[in-house]
Structure 1
Amino acid sequence: MFKLLDLPDELFCEILRYLSAFDALFGFLNLNSRLNRLLSPFTRQIDFTSVSYEQFLHYFNDILPVISKQGRLYALKLGDRRTPGQIELFNRMITSNNRNYITDIDRVFVEAPSLEHFGHFIDGYLRTLPRLRILSIETETLCDSDFPKWTKVILNSILPIPSLTKLSIRTPVGPSLSRLPDTMMLTSLTHLTLHVSAVTDLVILIKRTPNLEQLSIRMGWWTSGDRTLVKILDEMRSDHCRTSFLPKLRRFSLTIDSIISFQHEHLQQVLFRILNEHVTSSFSFILRSCIKNDKDSTVQLLDGQLWQQLLSPYSHLRKFDLFIRISDSNNADQQEDYSKTFQSPFFREKKWFFSYLKPSRQNDNILYSIANKTIELFDISLNPPEKFHHFPMNYAPHLAIDQTDTRYHALDQSNFYHVLNHFPFLQQLTLTDVKLDAPVILPVNTLSLYSLKIEKTQRILPQLLFSIFPLVNTLSISFPVFDDQNEIFNLQYNQMKDLSLFNIHPERIKRVLLFLNQFPNISFLHLRLCNRRFNDDSLLNQVKDILRQHSSLISVKLEFDRDFSVPINWTIEFPDRVKMFLSNKTFDGVLYHLWF
């Protein structure tokens, strides 16, 4: 009789790769010393971001006491992005009895923290960790009213942590560093990723971080008309003895969301104080907004001769990445002339090559370095086909294909696969107005591709969609694309874990119930319902039916275009399922986020 324990270590490790950390520990921890050794990758770090409420409690009460005796825990990951209320629960669970299990943590990763409880998490836990070296914080949304509080948390609680060497804070809006105390020096930091408001914040920052080796900045806006910036640059210009404020900087990345006014000399002066001619080996420049017309001062960024003048003093620079969007309303001939300036002997000798894609999505053009390895969304249209004959290799993780304004909406299979083959590390694919109705479409087997978003697409059969994208486990789509009164949802897609359905009309919600039967292993569900003219009680009862149907659910987002007339306490409505929930006002309604 076959026994699982008879398998060699290599095969057993392969099986463990397909399990979540919790399932692996729950199933095999402490059965014998051999399994404990094979489980070591799961016992040195804790990831709470994809566990249910009960699994979280089991981690704290049963698993932590065991794995803390087997070796040191290095990393902790938690947050409210998928599991609302988790940071609040973590604050409550940390007691004198279990604190010792997680005091040796040296790296912490936090996703979408609720600001209400994040301050206590920092002061009550993070700042007590004697070995904390790496801290990463990511949040996708930030209310205007929370901006002053968020700035205060960053400046007063996070930046002063003395043990930090690597810090990453990714937010939609950056703090104003003008409030940074004059005496504060962040000498321990060697790696920093930060979103700042303006270029003056960047200049303030580099004066306080002399030991940085890697710096990645996303800037809200650049304005050369800022009087404070002009004053700072004048002071820098008068200091002839100083060059870079960062003598150890090896890599620098600068992403600018928008430019209000621009002078190339100011960019040159700022980079002169950042890049080090003896050390810096990599520089990346990304402009997220679009250069609108030829009279725009930012058109200087398209001039290869000016870039050559700026970069030539840095003899150790081995890598230069560029990503700039240009409006198609610009003079086409002049754009071609600019692109030729990046083909000078200087760039060829450095082996820095550039491509000029036109048009991309929304008829914008993109000037970018080859091979493109930025994390920016890379968007294209598949027409005309001939422009992809010499399409270069591209390492961007997120691709959008938009066929809205093209003559040929039908999917051209050869072009589609030709493009996908040039994105070998593609993770997320967005298709807008792309018809998936070609007679024969082969499966897309890009191993890294896990997420698919479909916009403005006509009706498609689920079996066709999942035959084209068999490896996708995350899907975002409008429900009417699937909905047909005559369609029978009788297949199952076990790989689907994360599903978002939009534009659901309440009278069709029973069809949603049938549709969801195809996904028995769904863990994360997002439903956007148009309930403006629908009875609250009837809608609530039908939502209850959906939530009761799937025992595998970990969290659910329910988005309505109007709130219920009587506030809903979801833990009371679903006492056996919903353990915690958060509610937020959205631009056009309300969002309830439930943790099961």
Structure 2
Amino acid sequence: EISTLETGLPNELFDFIFLYLKSIDIIYSFFNLNRRFNDLIYPFLCAIDLSNVDECYLNKYCRTILPQIHHYIKAVKVDDKNLDSVFPLRLYSKIYPNVESVFITKVEKDGKYLSYLKLFKQLINLKIYFGDGEYNETVSNELCLNLFQSDCRLQTLFFDNVYVPINTHIIQRCFSIKKLTIKLHCFNDVYVLLNNLPSIEYVNIEILYVTLRRQQLQQQQNDVHFDYDKNIPSELLKLKHFVFYASFTANYDYLELLLSHCCSNLEYLSLNLYIDQFIDGERLEKKLLSKLTKLK
């Protein structure tokens, strides 16, 4: 049967067939049948998707298949509840010598991922997708304590669905992070964060929504405790892409100050703001756009 498949179907047709199969089933069915099939499924060996998999099936897969393909794997996608099955802490470096990227799905606020942050911060890419039940929750300071540190090697960091606290007493300058997607509590967190990411090239930030009255109270407190003018980040020469969303939580004056003084090399700018300040076209042009000469 294998011989018939091999001689009867072109490679392009297998690529079409693979679109309808899960990556773990492709590997299970075709790995080591012959050299041709190994070449065809090589992309699935490098980036393996183990999310949304039955626990019993996953355990069998970890025992029988993963030991045969572990040296191929560069990226892994897995549900948070199954992290310890896929990444045994004691054998992590031996099982995945070439892994560069980990994508964790269905994460709970106090999930298993917390035990792996010290390991995963040595990767190149880390994306954490929190479950719908955690929507707009605030996660542990462990994220700041482990990931926004000088010994972090991550280049891409992505958080979905939750707000990440930025603790000024914990955060350190991190020279590795180049791409970041994150939700923050307040606008001064943006200043603190960017002050500690000198190599940032892409940033996508959303600020927590609060009622207008609560925002005014917070703003009064922040104006006392946080001096934006003194804490303006150093010039972010590598920052090319800036996406920002805020709903009644950002003072446009300080956003304008940040962009005009620190982001002179921006090529893409997206601002989605709901604010109670009037910004006319003349101000936008003279005080901001005229200084961002590299926008495309």
The TM-score by the shorter chain falls in which range?
Answer: 0.7 to 0.9
Alignment correspondent of 1:429: none
Aligned length: 283
Alignment correspondent of 2:194: 206
**SS of aligned partner of 1:217:** strand
Give 1:113's aligned amino acid.
Answer: V
Please tell me whether the aligned partners of residues 178 and 204 of structure 1 are also in contact (alpha carbons under 8 angstroms). yes
Distance in structure 2 (CA, Å) of the matches to 1:234 and 1:29: 59
Percent identity, please: 23
1:364-420 CA deviation, whole Å, 9 max, x = no partner?
A: xxxxxxxxxxxxxxxxxxxxxxxxxxxxxxxxxxxxxxxxxxxxxxxxxxxxxxxxx
Question: Which structure has the highest strand share of the two?
Answer: 1
**TM-score, normalised by the number of residues in structure 2:** 0.84
Distance in structure 2 (CA, Å) of the matches to 1:234 and 1:212: 21
**SS of aligned partner of 2:141:** helix
Q: CA deviation at 1:174?
A: 3.1
Of 122, 133, 148, which aligns to 1:159? 148
Q: CA deviation at 1:158?
A: 2.3
Alignment correspondent of 1:381: none
Alignment correspondent of 1:137: 128
Q: CA deviation at 1:229?
A: 4.6
Cα pair distance change 1:263/1:208, threshold 3 Å: closer
1:81-106 CA deviation, whole Å, 9 max, x = no partner?
A: xxxx3235445x4553x752213211
Please tell me whether the aligned partners of residues 143 and 164 of structure 2 are also in contact (alpha carbons under 8 angstroms). no
Name which structure has the greater RCO, CA cutoff 8 Å, separation 6+. Answer: 2
Kindly name which structure, 1 or 2, has the bigger radius of gyration based on alpha carbons: 1
Give 1:142's aligned amino acid.
Answer: E
Cα pair distance change 1:162/1:99, threshold 3 Å: closer
Q: CA deviation at 1:164?
A: 1.0
Cα pair distance change 1:221/1:180, threshold 3 Å: farther
In the TM superposition, structure 1's runs of 4+ consecutive aligned residues that sit over 6 Å from their partners are: none
Question: Which structure has the highest helix share of the two?
Answer: 2
Alignment correspondent of 2:283: 306
Q: CA deviation at 1:113?
A: 2.0
Please tell me whether the aligned partners of residues 52 and 79 of structure 2 are also in contact (alpha carbons under 8 angstroms). no
Alignment correspondent of 1:284: 270
The reply on whether 1:119 has 2:114 as its aligned counterpart is yes
Q: CA deviation at 1:200?
A: 0.5
Of 60, 78, 84, which aligns to 2:62? 60
Distance in structure 2 (CA, Å) of the matches to 1:285 and 1:116: 33
1:188-239 CA deviation, whole Å, 9 max, x = no partner?
A: 11111121111110011111111111111111158573454575233268xx
The reply on whether 1:101 has 2:95 as its aligned counterpart is yes
Ranges in structure 2 where 5+ consecutive residues have no aligned partner: none
Cα pair distance change 1:4/1:154, threshold 3 Å: same
1:243-300 CA deviation, whole Å, 9 max, x = no partner?
A: 85311111111111x215x654333213224421xx211101113x6x6xxxxx23x2
Distance in structure 1 (CA, Å) of the matches to 2:77 and 2:26: 17
**SS of aligned partner of 1:286:** strand
Distance in structure 1 (CA, Å) of the matches to 2:40 and 2:156: 29
Please tell me whether the aligned partners of residues 137 and 168 of structure 1 are also in contact (alpha carbons under 8 angstroms). yes
Please tell me whether the aligned partners of residues 204 and 244 of structure 2 are also in contact (alpha carbons under 8 angstroms). yes
Please tell me whether the aligned partners of residues 253 and 284 of structure 1 are also in contact (alpha carbons under 8 angstroms). yes
Please tell me whether the aligned partners of residues 197 and 220 of structure 1 are also in contact (alpha carbons under 8 angstroms). yes
Give 1:198's aligned amino acid.
Answer: C
1:43-88 CA deviation, whole Å, 9 max, x = no partner?
A: 11121112222331233111112223xx5311011124xxxx3235
Alignment correspondent of 1:268: 256
Alignment correspondent of 2:4: 3
Please tell me whether the aligned partners of residues 198 and 221 of structure 1 are also in contact (alpha carbons under 8 angstroms). no
Please tell me whether the aligned partners of residues 193 and 216 of structure 1 are also in contact (alpha carbons under 8 angstroms). yes
Alignment correspondent of 1:248: 238
Distance in structure 2 (CA, Å) of the matches to 1:284 and 1:19: 37
Please tell me whether the aligned partners of residues 135 and 162 of structure 2 are also in contact (alpha carbons under 8 angstroms). no
**SS of aligned partner of 1:178:** coil
Distance in structure 2 (CA, Å) of the matches to 1:229 and 1:248: 29
CA RMSD of aligned residues (A): 2.8
Please tell me whether the aligned partners of residues 206 and 274 of structure 1 are also in contact (alpha carbons under 8 angstroms). no
Give 2:168's aligned amino acid.
Answer: S
Equivalences for residues 317-356 of structure 1 within 5 A: 317-318=295-296
**TM-score, normalised by the number of residues in structure 1:** 0.44
Ranges in structure 1 where 5+ consecutive residues have no aligned partner: 238-242, 292-296, 319-596
Of 81, 84, 87, which aligns to 2:83? 87
Distance in structure 2 (CA, Å) of the matches to 1:142 and 1:229: 30
**SS of aligned partner of 1:100:** helix
